[in-house]
């Protein structure tokens, strides 16, 4: 027989054993014998060949067979009798539900359907949700929601990590406060006080695994199954999924030039919470007016409801200083929960964000955090605290703001040069954020242009996938990110995209009666 070392597998008839040396010969033999026993292909009380005999027949060492037999006996699948050998154990089996034979194809379909369709309510709520895809090698710019990751000071961050391990290795080995490192909470509160005008204490700050977890935690703490939560439409799809984890019904509320329409919100009954992005609405870019902010706060006070303010990219304002959050308004302390994240300023993989809540709520929210995933990484919290305390964070924020502003300007220049009046980006709301929204006539246009961009390896977010809530919004468009792409690459990327899109656009215009597409919206109306 051919030695085992010369080939990956070895088969023997009539036993039907086929060993795979890549898995380990003993492991492979154990797995196959176990399967045969569990499927009833080896009958109870049947004697297996002696270890020396089976080893010779398979062309392996006796130790290989002995290890497989010993594992099967430890699992209760074989019984060893001194002087008699190894026998298949007697296993009690449940009787079949029906004596009628089941054909293999039908059984396979039933198994697939059962595996693909869990019946829990949570599964139903998440069934239509598509997570943000991971960045893949070779994919290039225009991905929405990403900061200028090439500007992050990796060497400095690495040095701070190394210093932590030299000085405090014992701190990383245990549990910590689920609400977060006290020093980091104090630094975040001080930053929000000084740079955002949000008067809050460290006791109100709760560390989270990014804004996504903060949104889910707020919904779980505030909402009961069946209650309504209002959400901007179009809005942030992942936020809708997080809000729905509580069992609440997410209801779309349309936008106008000032933000969420108050009349549509007032029409909702039993609405306990409204999710808003007032500083820079995602994905339209609309900035909520001061009057609308006051009106929303009055609505919350009048209905004993709450506002969940997601300030996901508030630092990215290129004209003047960042806008003060709605949570900074007088009277907002007990009605507004404020969500912030470091993903857009540092890097998404850090998974650190925060939730600012009324002080009395923080113990309950900390318990909820402890139940979900206990705490954020102790090392990351210490390093971030040092990063902020030593002044690196504020310098980095200024650098990121300058970079995003320059890349936005480069993107708009390249876009106008290549597309002119064919595809017009909105003139309003281009002085903030990390992406722009290009509106399209219908989902067909959106699907065709996204597919064409994918042939170039470009990640472009379709509005119905990125910002459209399931069965909520019939709007169509493209969410175009620019901040993560260096200026030199922006020029090339937009040029390649235009070359790829021209035949598609020509075909779409013919289908549209030969009309050019000009969807610039006055004053940012949606």
Element (H or E) spanning 487, and its range? helix 487-511
> Are 477 and 446 within 8 A, CB to CB?
yes
Q: Which residues contact 485 (CB under 8 A, 6 or more apart)?
A: 140, 141, 142, 407, 411, 493
Alpha-carbon torsion 354, 358, 359, 362, what sign? negative
Same fold, 4-88 and 151-394: no
What is the predicted pLDDT for the residue at 291? 94
What is the predicted pLDDT for the residue at 356? 96
> Are 88 and 80 within 8 A, CB to CB?
no
What is the predicted pLDDT for the residue at 271? 93
Tokens 């009954």, residue located: 269
CATH fold of 151-394 reads 3.40.640
Task: Divide the 526 residues of the chain into consecutive groups of 10 and give the mean pLDDT of each group.
Answer: 39 62 85 85 86 88 91 87 84 56 43 48 62 57 86 95 91 86 96 92 95 93 91 90 90 92 91 94 91 94 95 88 89 92 91 93 91 88 96 96 94 93 79 90 91 88 73 76 91 93 90 55 34
Q: Strands 9-12 and 17-20: what pairing? A: antiparallel
CATH fold of 4-88 reads Arc Repressor Mutant, subunit A (1.10.10)
Strand order in the sheet with 435-440: 435-440, 476-481, 461-462
**DSSP H helices in 78-225:** 104-116, 121-126, 154-167, 182-195, 210-222
Taking the domains of the chain in order of start, what are their residue ranges? 4-88, 151-394, 398-524
Tokens 């779309």, residue located: 252
Question: Is CATH 3.40.720.10 what the domain over 398-524 is classified as, yes or no?
Answer: no
CB atoms within 10 A of CB 32: 17
> Are 318 and 432 within 8 A, CB to CB?
yes
Instruction: Specify the pTM.
Output: 0.77
């Amino acid at each position: 027989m051919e030695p085992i070392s010369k080939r990956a597998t070895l088969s023997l008839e009539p036993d039907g054993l086929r060993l795979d040396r890549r898995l380990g010969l003993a492991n492979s033999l154990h797995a196959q014998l176990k399967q045969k026993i569990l499927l009833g292909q080896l009958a109870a009380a049947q004697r297996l060949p002696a270890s020396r005999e089976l080893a010779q027949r398979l062309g392996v060492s006796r130790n290989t067979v002995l290890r497989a037999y010993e594992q099967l006996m430890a699992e209760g699948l074989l019984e060893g009798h001194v002087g008699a050998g190894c026998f298949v154990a007697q296993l009690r089996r449940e009787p079949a539900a029906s004596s009628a034979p089941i054909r293999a194809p039908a059984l396979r379909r039933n198994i697939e359907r059962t595996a693909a369709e869990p019946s829990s309510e949570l599964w139903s709520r998440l069934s239509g949700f598509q997570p943000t895809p991971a960045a893949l090698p070779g994919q290039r710019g225009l991905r929405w929601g990403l900061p200028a990751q090439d500007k992050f000071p990796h060497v400095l961050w690495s040095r701070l990590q190394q210093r932590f391990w030299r000085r405090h290795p014992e701190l990383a080995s245990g549990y910590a406060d689920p609400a977060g490192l006290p020093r980091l909470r104090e630094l975040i509160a001080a930053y929000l006080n000084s740079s955002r005008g949000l008067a809050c204490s460290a006791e109100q700050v709760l560390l989270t695994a990014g804004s996504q977890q903060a949104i889910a935690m707020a919904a779980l703490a505030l909402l009961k199954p069946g209650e309504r939560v209002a959400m901007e439409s179009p809005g942030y799809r992942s936020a809708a999924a997080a809000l729905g984890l509580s069992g609440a019904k997410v209801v779309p509320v349309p936008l106008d030039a000032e933000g969420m329409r108050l009349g549509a919100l007032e029409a909702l009954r039993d609405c306990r919470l409204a999710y808003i992005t007032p500083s820079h609405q995602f994905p339209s870019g609309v900035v909520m007016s001061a009057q609308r902010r006051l009106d929303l706060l009055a609505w919350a006070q009048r209905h004993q409801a709450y506002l969940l303010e997601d300030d996901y990219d508030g630092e990215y304002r290129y004209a003047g200083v960042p806008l003060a959050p709605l949570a900074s308004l007088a009277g907002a302390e007990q009605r507004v929960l404020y969500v912030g994240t470091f993903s857009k300023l540092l890097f998404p993989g850090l998974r650190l964000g925060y939730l600012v809540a009324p002080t009395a709520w923080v113990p309950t929210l900390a318990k909820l955090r402890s139940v979900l995933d206990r705490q954020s990484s102790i090392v990351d919290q210490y390093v971030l605290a040092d990063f902020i305390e030593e002044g690196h964070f504020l310098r980095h924020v200024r650098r990121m703001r300058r970079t995003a502003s320059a890349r936005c300007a480069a993107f708009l220049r390249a876009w106008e040069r290549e597309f002119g009046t064919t595809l017009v980006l909105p003139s309003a709301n281009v002085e903030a954020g990390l992406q722009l929204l290009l509106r399209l006539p219908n989902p067909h246009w959106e699907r065709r242009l996204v597919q064409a961009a994918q042939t170039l390896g470009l990640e472009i977010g379709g509005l119905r996938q990125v910002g459209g809530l399931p069965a909520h919004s019939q709007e169509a468009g493209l969410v175009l990110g620019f901040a993560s792409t260096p200026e030199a690459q922006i020029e090339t990327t937009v040029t390649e995209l235009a070359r790829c899109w021209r035949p598609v656009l020509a075909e779409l215009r013919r289908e549209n009666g030969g009309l050019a597409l000009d969807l610039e919206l006055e004053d940012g109306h949606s």
